[in-house]
Amino acid sequence: MAIFYGIGIGPGDSELVTVKGSRLLQELDILYTPEAKKHAKSLALAISEPYLSKDLQIKQRHFPMVVDRESKEEKWKDIANEIISDVQHGYNVGFITLGDPMVYSTYSYLIELIGSQIDTQTIPGITSYNSMAASLGIPLVMDEESFAVLPATAEQDKLEAALQIHETLVIMKVANHLDVILPLLAKYDLLDKTYLVSKASTQEQTICHGLTGLSSNEKLSYFTTMLVKK
């Protein structure tokens, strides 16, 4: 029986794919890759490259991220139906996501649309922030501590409450939202306790510790994550 596999390929370093993910990538007949942004596309494929078989058929598909939910969902339904058809024709089909498939990923929508029409299996992946913590040598949590993961686009009240409750905060997708996040960190005197990591685990990884001098106009990579460590 053919299966649809959602494979988390981790933050960037091909060696941070799991053994299971790497094996399944090798065994796939067809691989769907998201093409939401040009650099996103090349990164996901580049990470998987060492594991892809010569005969693999790669189907790059555009997942629109527009605000108009209806036109977006229609497009995604088309892709879901194409995947269902491929699996029903006996092909093992994969879909790769950066980081983990269950953490802010398009894959969540795909499996919702696919439902129980075909067999699906999801393979977890290393998230950018787990990779960051490892590379910084800084624990996310110890003992009785807690941590939270939020997008920079979360409501201000929520961000503030989370900053007050948790010892560690991970803020995702900060690139275009420094104008909101930096004043918030300043308010709680946390600018100097914050790390900014771009392109975690890749050769282009950059780490910035202490954001007091950072301008909110600073151009950051789309793949930039913030770690606030109180």
Question: By the criterion CB under 8 A, which residues form the site for a second copy?
Answer: 6, 8, 10, 13-20, 22-23, 100-105, 108-109, 111, 120, 122-127, 130-131, 133-135, 137-151, 153-155, 158, 161-162, 165-166
Rounded-to-integer distance, Cα 136 and Cα 39, Å:
25
**Residue 150, φ and ψ in degrees, nearest 5:** -135, 155
- The residue (of 187 and 215) whose beta carbon lies closer to a second copy is 187
Question: In the bound complex, what is the minimum distance in angstroms from residue 149's beta carbon to a second copy?
Answer: 6
C-alpha 41/C-alpha 62 separation (Å) is 9
Which CB atom, from 180 or from 214, has the smaller least distance to a second copy? 180
Residue-wise burial string across 114-127, b where 16 or more C-beta atoms lie within 10 A, e elsewhere: beeebebebbbbbb
- Give the span between the Cα atoms of 39 and 86, in whole angstroms: 27
Nearer to a second copy, 94 or 101 (CB): 101
Please say which residue, 33 or 130, places its beta carbon nearer to a second copy: 130
- For 228, the token pair is 């606030």
Separation in Å, CA 14 to CA 45, 100, 125, 183, 226: 10, 14, 11, 36, 22
CB of 50 to a second copy, least distance (A): 9
Question: Which CB atom, from 89 or from 158, has the smaller least distance to a second copy?
Answer: 158
For 5, 55, 136, the CA distances from 223, given in Å and listed in that order, are: 24, 31, 17
- Least Å distance, CB 51 to a second copy, is 9
Cβ closest to a second copy, residue 57 vs residue 187: 187
Q: How far is the CB of 7 from a second copy (least distance, A)?
A: 10
Residue 138 CB neighbours (<10 A): 13
> Nearest approach, Cβ of 30 to a second copy (angstroms)?
21
Q: How far is the CB of 213 from a second copy (least distance, A)?
A: 26
